[in-house]
Every structure is written in structure tokens, then in C-alpha cells.
Structure 1
Amino acid sequence: MPAFRQVGEKQLPNPVLCMAWSPKRDLIALANTAGELLLHRLANFQRVWSLPPNENTGKEITALAWRPDGKILAFSLGDTKVVVLCDAEKAEILHLFPLENPVSCMHWMEVLEESSVLNSFYTSEDESNLFLPKLPTLPKSYSTTSKIFSEEKSDEILNLLGEVRLNILVLGGGSGFVELYAYGMYKIATLPGVPGTCSSLCLSSDLKSLSIITEIRSAGNDPEICYIQLDTGLLSDCLPEVTRMARKFTHISTLLQYLRLSLTCMCEAWEDILMQMDLRLTKFVQEKNTSTQVQDEFLELLLWGQSSPELQALLMNQLTVKGLKKLGQSIETSYSSIQKLVISHLQSGSEALLYHLSEVKGMSLWKQKFQPLGLDSAAIEDAITAVGSFTLKANELLQVIDKSMKNFKAFFRWLYVAMLRMSEEHVPPELNKMTQKDIAFVADFLSEHFSENEELFDRKGKYFNVERVGQYLKDEDEDLVSPPNTKGNQWLKFLQESTHLKESPLLFPSYSQKSLHFVKRMMEGVIELCLQKPAEVIGKSVKQAVCLPLYTVPESSENTPRLFELPSLYNDKKTNMHYGVFCMPEISPCKLYLLRKFTDPFRPVPNALMAIDLSNVLSHSIDDDAAGASSDCVYSCQDARFYDDETLTVVLRASEEDNRGRVLAQLPLGSALSCEEEFNWDPSLRLDQQSGAIPVKGLVLENQWRDLENMKAQFVAVNGIRKVACVLSSNLRHVRVYEMDVEDEEDEERPESQNASSDQDGLEETPAIQGEAEGGETEGGGQRSKEQLESGEALELS
């Protein structure tokens, strides 16, 4: 009776590049060569959802990592150099950020260390909710809005942050690229000086060190695989401060995204139809023969009720009564939408931003605690000032909208009546009354907005700027075409005349000539500088403690897929140790090497390196008669992953002369780790040059193994918490899933026909998963029907 129970099998249409089990649930994420991210449930390997590539992300997924709570999945894209955070429940993109380098590996780790300071912080973390109103959700109708801020009845920022306990996403790539992101969003460290291309990363849960496997290439030599341990002591020494700062900065960067999206919604609420009046008036100027000014023509119509034939033609033929009505409605709807977004979204977002920045400023003034992390109070003060300027500009826009709405209402009402009279139609009595005050109001509007501007024609291709709101929403560096008229503003006059207040740091600069977009970009730049400083300071504090050259990679293996390849790293939270497991197929194909280092890089490790002999690992557990061959079957390791602290899950391959094929096995490490023989490492030599001196421990398995029949198994992904393993074939398209803590109840002696019928029964009960299974045989040998293959139904093995 074989060990482990097979619960699912699939032939996939596209080769798999990455696979990762959820730490908390029975879900596995797969990324394929088509750029799709797929989520499958353990039961029958049934697909839950798929996220196809899109123009905002990219097609080439290079690495996957689950957040420790299993609610968010991070993946990196090589073609666009972007990291995406995806909601595991709904396949929605919650957040993405660009990088300077493509990512080749990632690891998401949760800090487990407890302290009284941290616990008091955890309980008081949500105090901001007591002082700040909840951010209004963004309108769902706008196309460019992210899903993150449009969910009803949810606090998006807290959902994104997850649990209060600090978690860190570590990214590694080529040219020594290594970055750490707190909560997967805020860059907390950029690590300089890591040699080569990272192929595997593991940050310890006590934050004392980061283990990296890198591939270093030098001219004319084969690539060299090295183990590097970096001392990240500053993070562990200042854990409460790092957690508090990271939490605040993640709030701040998420609020910046909220303001960015709010401004996008405002731009979409502003319609091109509002430009119609400016364009028609410009065309009118270019076509008319007389030298009179446009505002004079309109004023003559206002005062005497008479108009030139040209103006009459403009109003009746080009603008039309119907067109005027539509334009009036568009302006009112558009301005009201923008006004609501400014009041509810921009202002509440800016208030929250000021609150969190003020708290960060308070932290920065506690120099004993926060200065080592690079918190700069001057930079934070600049950020607070920039947010204040943004708030002032938003208020200025509100005043412009308010004034424009009043002006346009009065102007359109008068012009509508004038056009009805021109066409000799009936004028409703409620519109016919115009007081002297109304006439003066329209006259002021005409003289201010209808004057021709030659300079404007050179810049924008039109002589007029009747519509004043759109200029605030343009993402351009040019000054406002028509800045607000500040004549008669007593406060501004007082400021300009006061030598002490003019340059006072207590007053926010107003940037009266600039658009809202310009001030927003300036604010983002200043806050970005303030956010970047700790990442540089913490990054510089990280030093290389250990660098061990392991072995060279022969050029012949250059074409093998590297995303699953050994070495593999693991962090044992109980003993605070880093483990590395690797093979050296060129030197000793039947041995698996185990490297151990304490997370404290300066603490020596007894028996730090040992080899496990796999050559006869199954010898005594194979029944010669059942095997039909000699029991001396020599195995080599294809892939190995840590199942838990004491067990290694491996895919073994029999030697070419033997016909046993591939085996999935669980290797208990207890006896190997208790080996008392010491290996004296010569740091001047590579490990493969001194492999003969490494202590070797033989293992013999009793029943913790299983033959992988009809499958060229090559790679494995495991989750010891959920007690599951997923095996992938060498062509990257054939997948099998096993539950590891139960024995297979299937009777292997069953006749083939019985196997086939039971497989068919299983198929009928399994829901269809569109476009997934591409054909193939069940393990018992039963073929699926053509109809079943075409419908892409899941293959369930009884």
C-alpha cells in the first residue's frame, strides 16, 4: 500500500513557471508561460479562478509569494518590471508598484517575535479611526479606478495592511538587486552590494539575517552558485520602531494612491463638451469680417437686444437652442461631480495624510529611537507643507467651480432667452424677468471671460478661456491660462506687506499660477523623498556576514528551468536557524547536501554541513518480488523542499540502468542533524573542491515514499502545515497533488477495467473547469472520452 494519497491530477495547456502553496488554506497558485495566474483548490485540483495578463501588468510572471495570512498573493512581472498584489478571494489587483530591475525570486515573511512594547502598539494601532472620518469609496462608474477603494463597507487600507504584526516581502533579482517591502507595499530597505543574480531568498522570522543563494558569473568561467548571509541586525534591534514606522508609511503611500485615483475620477468627470463654447467663439473670430470685439458684440446684445448677423448666425446655426441647453446641463453635472469629489475625497484624503505625517514627525523628533532608522524631521516637515499646499489648491478649485457655476447659470439663462427672441419663439414668463443686478452680473462675466487673448491662441489654438475648471485638471507643467483674480484680497495684501509673514514656515505656499495636478505631483515627490530616506539608511546598515562559494553550474544545464531549481532555503522558527538544501550532480549525483546557519550570523554552528546519501535510500523497503528487480537501486535527487522543521520532501530519480522511474519521498532529517562529525570549511576553496571531506549520513526509508508512475516528475512544491505536495513533470505541464499524512486507500491489485470505470465515475461528479485539461491518461489506465477532454473537466482519482 503506497504512502501518500493522490487527490488530483491535470495535464495543463501551458507550461508552469512558478507554483506556491497558500500558507493557510488548501489553495495552490500557479503561473504559466501565457502570463496567467491560476488558483487551484486541493480537492480534485479544481480551478478557483484565473487572472489573465493585461495592459496594466504584463505577461512574463517570474516569481510568486503568499502573504503569511494567505489573503494576498504577490507576483512579479519580468517584462514590465512590476510587482502586483492580488486579492486571493476575488482575483482583483489591489496594488502594484514599479521596480528598477526585474525580479527573479521573492519571499514573504512574518515577524514572530513578541515584546511588551510591540503588544501595546498592536492594541493602540487603530487610534486613527477615532479621529479621522472613514474615507469615502470612489465611484465605481469610472474606468480607471482601482478596485481597492470602491468596495462598500470595508476599510481598504486596513485590508491591504492585513494584521498589525509586521510582515516583509523580500524581492531579489539580477545585478545584486535586493529590496525589502514592509506589508508588501512600503520599501523599507534597498540592499547594496549583493553580488550576482538572486535565485532564492529567506529572511529570518527574528529579522536578524537574510540568506540568499546567488549565481555569480565571471568572464570565461562557468557560473558559480554562492550562499550569502546578510546581517540585518538593525531591523531586529529596532523591531517596535520599524513596525510603527512601516505601518505609518504604508498608510501614507496608500493614501497617496487614494488621492491619485480621486484626481483621476475628477478628470473623467470633466467632459470635452465643456470646451465647445471656447472653440465656437474662436471659429467665430476667425470667420467674421468686422473688427469689433466679441465681448462688445455680446454686450450690445445684452444692453440693446440687438446682434450683428454674424453673431446671430453663430448662436442660431452653430450653438443652437438645443445645443445651449445641453451645454448648460453638461456644465452643471460635470462641475457638481468634481465639486463632490473635491469635498468628500480630496479633502478627507488630505486630512488623513496630514494626520499620519504629523505622527511620523513626532516619531522623528524622538531621536534616540527613530534616528538610526533614517527618519528626518526636516524632510517630514517639507512633506507636511506640501500636503498643506495641495489642500489650498483644492480649496481654490472649489471657489473657481462655485463662481463658474453661478456665472454660467446666469449667462446661459440670459442667452437662452435672447436666442428664443431671435427665433421669435415664446419666452416662458419665469425666464423673462431680469433685474439690473442680473444684467450687471452677466456684463461682468462677459468682460472678464470673453476678451480675446492672442497669447492663448499660440498656446492652445483658441482665443478664449471661458471654461476655467479644466485647466486645474491638466497634467501639464505650464502655468494656469487664467489664474484666479486676487485683486482686493485683503489677506494676500497683508501677507505681501508683512516682512515677517511673507516667508514664514507656518504658512503653506499657495502656488497661485499652478494647476492642481502640478501641486499634486510636487507633493508626491516631496513625500517620496521623505519615504525613501529610511530605506537608504536601513539598506546601508546591512552588511555581508557570510559568503560561501558552493559549486559551479555547467553550461550544459543552462537551458533547464531555473525557477524551481535547487538550492532551496528554509527558516526554522523554533531553533532560529537557516537551512539550505542543494545537490552537486557533477560531483556527487547521489548525495543531497544540507547547510545550517544560525539566524544570528556571528554564532557558530556545530556540524554546519552534512551530506545525505540517497544511493540506496529505498533498498531495504522494496520487496524484490514486487519490484521485479534488484533492490540495489541507486537514486539521485531531482528536487527537494522543506516540508517542516524535520522533514525534507524530495523527488528521486533512479539511475539510467534501473527501470524504477521516479519516486516521491519524505526524508526525516533527525539522524542527519544529530551527526557529530565536523566539517572544517576552507573558505579559500569552493565547496565542490572539498566535497570529499563532508560528513555523509546514510538514510533508509521504511514506508514514506511512493512511486510516481507514468510521470517524468521533476519538481515539487510542499506545504507542511496543510500536509500537501504538488509534483510537476519535466515538461512543466503534468501536475499531481498528494495529501502527505494519509496512506493511499486504493488497492493496487485492482483490475485495470475496474480502475477505468471508477475514474469515469469520478469525472461525472466533478464540475467542469473550462479550457484546462488537455488530455492524457488516468493513473489506472482508463482513457477519458473526447467529449470530456473538450469540456476540460477535472480529473478526479478515486
Structure 2
Amino acid sequence: MPAFRQVGEKQLPNPILYMAWCPKRDLIALANTTGELLLHRLANFHRVWSLPPNENTGKEITSLAWRPDGKVLAFSVGDTKQVVLCDAEKAEILHLFPVEYPASCMHWMEVQDDSSTLTSFSESEDESSRFLPKLPTLPKSYSTTSKIFSEEKSEEVTNLLGEVRLNILVVGGPSGFVELYAYGLYKIATLSGILGTCRSLGLSSDLKSLSVITEIRSTDDNPEIRYIQLDTGLLSSCLPELTKMARKFTHISTLLQYLRVSLTCMCEAWEEILMQMDLRLTKFVQEKNTSTQVQDEFLELLLWGHASPELQALLMNQLTVKGLKMLGQSIDSSYSSIQKLVISHLQSGSEALLYHLSEVKGMALWKQKFQPLGLDPSDIEDAIVAVGSFTLKASELLQVIDKSMKNFKAFFRWLYVAMLRMSEDHVPPELNKMTQKDLAFVADFLSEHFSANEELFDRKGKYFNVERVGQYLKDEDEDLVSPPNMDGNQWVTFVKQSTHLKDSPLLFPTYPQKSLHFVKRLMEASIDLCLQKPAAVIGDSVKQAVCLRLYTVPESSENTPRLFELPSLWNDKKAAMHYVVFCMPEISPSKIYILRRPTDPNRSVPNGLVALNLNTPLNSSIDDETPAPASVDYSYSCLDARFYDDETLTVVLRRLEDDENKMRVLAQLPLNSAMSWDEEFSWDLSLRLEQQTEGIPVQGVAWGNQSREMDNISAQFVAVNGIRKVACVLSANLRHVRVFEMDAEEEEDEEERADESQEMSSDQDRIEDTKTNESDAVEGGRVEDAQVSGQGPRDSLDDTAGSDTL
């Protein structure tokens, strides 16, 4: 009776490149060659949802990583050089950030649950909600970008931050690229000095070290695999401060995103229709034969009630009474929308930003605690000043909007009456009354806004700048065409005349000639400097502790998918150890090598390397009192290996004696006895390990009944989850998967298994012919027809009952 109960099998239409089990739930994420991300449930391998590639994310997924609580899935995209965080519940993109290189590997870890740090964690609670009102919801009607998460949206920041306990996403790529992101959002370290492409990495849960497997390519030799251990002691020694800083800077990053999206919504509210008056007046100047100024023509109409033939043609034929009415309504609507966005979003978001930056400044002034992390009070003060300038510019825009709305209302009301009189239509009595004050107001508006500007025609293709709000929303480096007139402002005059206030650091600079976008960019640059400095300082503190040259990659394996290829890293939280499992098929095809290093680089561990000999009788045990027979049953080589838990290794083996090379075995290798060896290996660090294999201690290992031969599948790779006690086997052609429960045995008899095998084979043929069978009825990210073991569809991905529902 074979071990492990098969609970699912599927033939997929596109090759699978990456697969990763959810740490907490019975879900497995798959990424295929088309850039599609799939989420499957363990039971019968039902698909829960799929996330197709799009222009925002990209089409080339290069690695996967689950957040330790299983609620967020990170995947990296090679063609757009981004890391994307996806909500596992709804298949929604929560956040994405650019990286310098396409990420080739990722690891998401959670800080160890240590009683000594619980107090500091509780002190890291953010109290901003007690002092700051909740930010208004972004108007989704304006922009699709508002769907990207921001602080106001359905508690998603809290969802992303997760528990108060710190978790860190480690991203690695080519050219020694390694970055660490707190909560998967805020970059806390950029590492340097690592050689080669990162193939695998793991940050220890005590934050004392980072293990990296790299591949170094040279021009005259095969690629070389190395194990590097980096000392990250600063992270562990400053854990409470790091947690506080990371959470605070994550809020700041979120608020910046909120302000960006708010400004995008404002730009969309400001429509190009506001330019129509400027363009029509320019066309009028170019077409008319007289040399009279436009403002003189309008003033003549205002004062004497008659217009030139050219002006009358402009008003009655091009603009029309109906068009004027629609233009007035459109301008009024646009201005009102922008005004609301400035008041409710820009100003409230800026106030929240000032609050959080002020708290960070207080942290930075506590130099004993926070200076080692790179917090600089002067940089943070510069950021606070930049946010203050942005707030002042937003207030200036509000004044311009308010003045423009009054001007346009008066102007359109007068022009509407004048055009009705030209067309000899009835003028309503309520519109026919204009006081001397109203006439003076319109006259001032005409003289100020309707003067032609030849320089403006060269820059913008128009002579006029009647509309004054749009210039603030243009994302350009040029100065404002019509900056506000400050001549009569008593405060500005007072500051200029005061020698003490003129250059005072207490006053925020106003940049009167610049647009809102320009001041926003200054603010972003200043805050980015604050956000990036700790990453550089912490990154510089990380030093290489150990570098071990393992082996060279043979040319024969150059076309093997890189993700599944060994070595594989494992972090033993209980024993504070890094484990590396790897094979050297060219040197010793029947051995698996296990390297272990303490997470504390300053410690040493005896017997740090052992080789597991796979030439052990299939049903024997290394603990048996009877000696093993002289000849073994079979010899095996390891195709893939993953740590199932701290004491067990899950492997896919190939029988070497099999001429057709088809016999594959899935097995669980117990490591307790093998890891308690007594022999010590003396490692010559100047040589590769493959050049000194003779002295490596070899341990026999047997898996007894913890193995199963793989029928009808050319098994090549395996992904495991020891907490859920499951394994997923992938075939060499990357299209055929089987899922097993590892702590249960098959209960059916031989005939039933034979029938099932025959039925499955024919079913696979049908699936191969009709590759459209993949749609498992997904709507809105929920499974609609997952009738698993007599149960109805589930409303949530959470599975509190575990695998017993199978």
C-alpha cells in the first residue's frame, strides 16, 4: 500500500514555471509561461481564481513569495521590473513598486515570536488614528489609478501591514541585486558587494543573518554556485526601532501615493474644454482684418452695447448662445470638482503627512536609538518644509479657483445677455439688471485676461490665458504663464520689509512662479531622500561573513528551469540554523548534500556538512540492528528536494538503473539520525566543494514506507508545505501536476487504483485535446462550483478546518 494520499491531479494548458504553497491555507499559487497567475485549492486541485497579465504589471513572472500569514501574495515581473502585491482573497492588486533588476528570487519572512521583543512590538502601535481624521475616499469615477490602494480604501493598508510584528520581503536578482522591504512596502535595505545572480535567499527569523545562493558566470568556465552568509546584526539589535520606523515610513509612502492619485483626479476634472475660450480668441485674432485689440472690442461691447462684425461672427456663429451656456456650466462644474478635491484630499492628506513626518523627526532626534538606522533630523526637517510649501501652493490654487469662478460667472452672465440682444431674443428681467459695480468687475476681468501675449503664442500656440487654473495642474517645468498678483497682499509686503522674517526657517517658501505639480515633485524628492537614506545606511552595515564555493553548473543543465533547480534554502526557527540542500550529479549522482550554518555569523557549529547516500535498501532503516545487505536494491539520483519540516526532506528521485529513465519516486527522508553525525569536515575555502568531496562524512538514509512510485507522470519538481502536510509534484514538461496529502495512506485496493489510473490517463488525453477545460467557473475571485466532498461552494479562502474537508 503506497504512502501519501493523492487528492488532486491536473493537466494544464500552459507550462508552469513557479509554484508556491500558502503558509497558512490549503492554497497553491502557480505562475505559467504566459504571465498568468493562478490560485488553486488543494481539494481536487480546483482553481480559485486567475490573474491574467496586463499592461500595468507585465507578462513575465519571475518569482513568487507568500506573506507569512497567507493573506498577500507577492510576484515579480521581469519585463516591467516590478514587484506586485496581490490580495489572495480577491485577486486584486494592492500595491506595486519598481525594482532596478528583474527579481529572480524572493523570500518573505516574519520576525520570530520572541517574548523579549513583544513589549517593544506593542510599543510600536501607531496612534495617528487618535489625532487624525480618516481620509476621504478617492473618487473612483475619475481615475482607474484610484483603485490602487491608498490609506482610505477598505483598511487595505492595515491589511498590508498585517500584525504589529515585523515581516520583511527579501528580493534578489542579477548583478548581486538584493533589497529588503518591511511589510513588503517600504525599502529598509539595499545591499551591495554581492557577486553574481541571486538564485535563492533566506533571511533568518532572528534577523541576524541573510543566506544567499548565487550563480557566478565567468567567460572561461561553467557557472559557479556559491553560498554566501551576510551579517545583518544591525536589524536584530535595533528591532524595536526598525519596526517603528518601518511602520511610520510605510504610512508616509501611502500618503504620498494618496496625494498623487488625488492630483491625477484633479487633472482629469480639469477638462480641455476650459481651453476653448483661449483657442477661439486666438483664432479670432488671426482671422480678423482690423488691428483693434480683442479686449478693446469686448470693452466696446460692454460700454456701448454694439460689437464689430468680426466679434459678432465669433460670438453668434462660433460660440453660439447654446455653446456659451454649455461652456459656462462645464467650467463651473470642473472648478467645483477641483475645489472639493483640494479641500478634502490635498489639504487633509498634507496635514496627515506633516503629522507623520513630525513624529519621524522626533524619532530622529533620539540619536542614541535611531541614528544607527540612518534617520537624519536635517533631511526630515527639509521634507517637512517641502510639505508645508505644497500645502501653501494648494491654498493658493484654492484662491485662484475662487476668483476665477466669480470672474467667469459675471463674464458669462453679461455675455449671455449681450448675445441674446444681438439675436433679438427675449432677455429675462433678472439677467437684465447690471449695476455700476458689476460693469466695473467685468471691465477689470476683460482688461486683465483678454490682452494678447505674443510670447504665449510661441510657447502654447495661443495668444490668451483667460483660464488660470489649468496652469497649476500642468506637469511641466515652465513657470506659470500668469502667476497670481501679490502687489496688494499686506502679508507679503510685511515679510519682504522685515529683515528677520525674510529668510526665516519658520516660514515655508511659496514658489509663486511655479505650478502645483512642480512643488509636488520637490516634496516627493525631499521625502524620498528621507525614505531612501535608512536603506543605504542599513545596507552598508550588512557585511559578508561567509562565502563558500560549492560547485559548477554542468552545461547539460543549462536549459533546466532555474527556479526548481537546487540548491534550496531552509530556515530552522527552533535551532536558529540555515540549511542548504544541494546535489552535485556530475561528481556523485547518488548523494544529497546538506550544509548547515548558525544564523548568528559569530557562532560556529560542528559537523556543518553531511552527504546523504541514496544507495540504501528501499525498505530498510539505518536504525535496524541487523546489518544492511551487501548489495543494495536500487541506486537513485535526486531531481528535486525541499525541506518538509525541520526534520524531514521531501525528494523526487530517479532510479539510475532504469534504462528508459522513467521511474520516479516521491519520498520523505528522515534527517534526525543523519544530522547527528560525529565526523568533522575540514573545508579548504580556496577550493570548490566539488574538488574536495572525499572528506565529506556520508550518512545512510532510508525512507521505509514513506515513499511512493510515480506512475504515468515524469515527475521532476516538488513544492511542499509541512504545516498543511501537502506536496505538489510537477512533471518534466511543466504541464502535469499531482497533489498529495503526506500524512495519509491510500485506502482503496489495487483494482480501484488501477481503474483510477486508467480513467485518469484517458481524462488527461481529453484535456490535452480540449485545452479549454481550464475555466473552473470563477466569478469575482470566488469558486462557484467547487463541490468538494459533498460540500457547497466556499465564500472565503480561509479554511479553518484544514485538510479534513477532503
Please give the TM-score of this superposition, normalised by the length of structure 2.
Answer: 0.93
Give the CA deviation at 1:603.
Answer: 0.6
User: Contact 1:619 / 1:632 at 8 angstroms: preserved in 2?
Assistant: no
SS class of match (1:607): coil
What's the counterpart of residue 772 of structure 1? none
Gaps of 5+ in 2: 622-630, 777-785, 790-805
- Whether the 8 Å CA contact 1:118–1:240 is kept in 2: the answer is no
Map 1:275-314 onto structure 2 (within 5 A).
275-314=275-314
Once the two structures are superposed, residues 19-68 of structure 1 have per-residue CA deviations (whole angstroms, 9 ceiling, x without a partner) of 11111111111111101111111111111111111111211111111111
Q: Sort the Cα spacing of 1:734 and 1:346 in 2 relative to 1 into closer, same or farther, 3 A.
A: same
CA deviation profile, 1:251-301 (whole Å, cap 9, x unmatched)? 111111111111111111111111100000000011111111111111111
Moved more, 671-680 or 594-603: 671-680
**Residue 87 of structure 2 corresponds to residue 96 of structure 1:** no
Report SS of the residue matched to 1:34.
coil
What root-mean-square deviation, in Å, do the aligned CA atoms of Structure 1 and Structure 2 show?
A: 2.0
Q: Residues 659-681 of structure 1: CA distance to partner in whole angstroms, max 9, x if unpaired?
A: 77111111111011111121111
Aligned counterparts of 2:118 and 2:750: Cα–Cα separation in 1: 55
- Does the 8 Å CA contact 2:4/2:745 hold for their aligned counterparts? yes
Tell me whether 311-320 or 124-133 shows the greater mean CA deviation. 124-133
1:745 pairs, out of 744, 747, 750, with 747
1:172 alignment partner in structure 2? 172
Deviation by residue 1:352-409 (Cα, 9 ceiling, x = unmatched): 1111110110000001111111110000000000000000011111111111111111
- Say which SS state the counterpart of residue 240 (structure 2) adopts: helix
Tell me the equivalent position of 1:666: 668
Residues 1:755 and 1:610: Cα distance change in structure 2 (over 3 Å): closer
Q: 1:535 to 1:60 in 2, by over 3 A?
A: same
The separation in 2 between residues aligned to 1:326 and 1:499, in whole angstroms, is 51
Deviations 1:426-470 (A, max 9, x none): 111221111111111111111111111111111101010111111
Tell me the CA shift for residue 724 of structure 1: 1.0
Post-superposition offset of 1:149: 4.1
Summarize the alignment of residues 602-617 of structure 1 with structure 2, pairs less than 5 Å apart. 602-616=602-616
Q: CA deviation at 1:218?
A: 2.0
Partner residue of 2:798? none
Q: 2:690 aligns with which of 672, 688, 691?
A: 688
CA contact (8 A) 2:767 2:773 kept: no
Task: Give 1:637's aligned amino acid.
Answer: C
- Contact map agreement 2:201 2:210 (CA 8 A) in 1: yes
Q: Distance in 1 between matches of 2:478 and 2:381?
A: 27
Is structure 2 residue 530 aligned with structure 1 residue 521? no
> Does residue 30 of structure 1 match 2:41?
no
Corresponding residue number in structure 1 for 2:641: 640
Q: CA deviation at 1:738?
A: 1.0
Verify: 1:561 aligned to 2:561, yes or no: yes
Query: How far off is 1:499 after superposition?
Result: 1.3
The answer as to 2:618 corresponding to 1:618 is yes
Matched residue, 2:725: 723
Q: CA distance change for structure 1 residues 309 and 118 in 2, over 3 Å: closer, same or farther?
A: farther
Give the equivalent residue in structure 1 for 2:596. 596
Distance 1:453 1:459 in 2: 10
Paired residue type of 1:583: C
Once residues 301 and 526 of structure 2 are traced to their aligned partners in structure 1, the CA distance between those partners, rounded to angstroms, is 51
- 1:147, CA displacement in angstroms? 2.1
Q: Deviation at 1:161?
A: 1.7
- For 2:151 and 2:498, how far apart are their aligned partners in 1? 49
Is 1:493 the counterpart of 2:493 in the alignment?
Answer: yes
Take 1:118 and 1:452, find their aligned partners in 2: how far apart are those partners? 69
Give secondary structure in 1 for the equivalent of 2:680: coil
How far residue 784 of structure 1 moved from its aligned partner, in angstroms, is 4.5
Task: Report the CA distance between 1:304 and its aligned residue.
Answer: 1.2
Which of 206-215 and 680-689 deviates more? 680-689
1:490–1:117 distance in 2 versus 1, CA, 3 Å: farther
Q: How does 1:99-498 map to 2 (within 5 A)?
A: 99-114=99-114, 118-122=118-122, 125-149=125-149, 154-498=154-498
Matched with 1:66 is 66
Q: Say if 1:523 and 1:367 are closer, same or farther in 2 by CA, change over 3 A.
A: same
Residue 87 of structure 2 is matched in structure 1 by 87
1:548-582, Cα deviation, whole Å (9 max, x unpaired): 10111112211111111100001011111100000
Alignment correspondent of 2:714 = 712
SS of match in other structure, 1:193: coil
Deviation at 1:122, TM superposition (A): 2.6
CA contact (8 A) 1:138 1:149 kept: no
* CA distance in structure 1 between the aligned counterparts of 2:772 and 2:496, rounded to whole angstroms: 78
Secondary structure in structure 1 of the residue aligned to 2:591: strand
Aligned residue for 2:624? none
Q: Find the counterpart in structure 2 of residue 624 from structure 1.
A: none
Say if 2:3 and 2:705, in contact at 8 Å, map to a contact too: yes
Which AA in structure 1 matches 2:403? Answer: K
**Does the 8 Å contact 1:148/1:156 carry over to 2?**
no
**Aligned residues of 2:229 and 2:544 also touching (Cα < 8 A):** yes
Distance 1:426 1:481, change over 3 A: same
Specify the SS of the correspondent of 1:122.
Answer: helix
325 and 151 in structure 1: CA distance in 2 versus 1, 3 angstrom threshold: farther
Identity of aligned residues (%): 80
Taking the aligned partners of 2:584 and 2:538, their CA distance within structure 1 comes to: 36
CA contact 1:567–1:583 (8 Å) conserved in 2: yes
Q: State the 1:10 CA deviation.
A: 1.2
Name 1:625's counterpart in structure 2: none
Is structure 2 residue 704 aligned with structure 1 residue 702? yes
Inter-partner Cα distance in structure 1 for 2:717 and 2:753: 31
- Taking a change above 3 Å as real, the CA distance of residues 672 and 35 of structure 1, as seen in their structure-2 partners, is same
Distance verdict in 2 for CA 1:463–1:76, change over 3 Å: same
Q: Is the 1:10–1:735 Cα contact (8 Å) retained in structure 2? A: yes
What amino acid is aligned across from residue 680 of structure 1 in structure 2? S
User: Match for residue 681 of structure 2?
Assistant: 679
Cα deviation 1:135-165 (Å, max 9, x = unaligned): 1111111233242447987233222222211
Q: Which amino acid aligns with 1:644?
A: D
Tell me how far 1:638 sits from its aligned partner: 0.4
SS in 2 for 1:504: coil
Task: Name the SS of the counterpart of 1:401 in structure 2.
Answer: helix
Deviation at 1:113, TM superposition (A): 4.4
Q: What is the DSSP-based 3-state SS (H/G/I as helix, E as strand, rest coil) of the residue aligned with 1:217?
A: strand
CA contact (8 A) 2:598 2:605 kept: yes
Residue type of the alignment partner of 1:641: R
Q: C-alpha deviations, 1:480-521, integer Å up to 9, x for none? A: 011111111000011111111111111100011111111111
- Structure 1 CA distance, aligned partners of 2:367 and 2:150? 39
Q: CA deviation at 1:77?
A: 1.1
For residues 788 and 5 of structure 1, do their structure 2 counterparts lie closer, same or farther at Cα, with a shift above 3 Å needed? farther
Aligned to 1:456, what secondary structure does the other structure show? helix
2-structure distance, mates of 1:450, 1:32: 61
Tell me the alpha carbon deviations over residues 636-658 of structure 1, each in whole angstroms, 9 at most, x when there is no partner. 10000011111111111111436
Letter in 2 for 1:70: G
Write the distance in 1 (CA, Å) between the matches of 2:145 and 2:313.
43
**Residue type at the aligned position of 1:643:** Y
Contact 1:637 1:653 in 2 (8 A): yes
Match of 2:796?
none
In structure 1, how many angstroms separate the alpha carbons of the residues matched to 2:117 and 2:736? 50
The one-letter amino acid of 1:202's match is G
Deviates more, 1:591-600 or 1:50-59: 50-59
The letter of the residue matching 1:352 is: A
Unaligned runs of 5+ in 1: 622-629, 760-775
Q: What is the rounded CA distance, in whole Å, between the counterparts of 1:561 and 1:684 in structure 2?
A: 29
Contact 2:121 2:165 in 1 (8 A): no
Q: Which secondary structure state, in structure 2, belongs to the residue aligned with residue 652 of structure 1?
A: strand
Alignment check: 8 A CA contact 2:186 2:253 kept = yes
TM-score normalised by the chain length of structure 1: 0.94
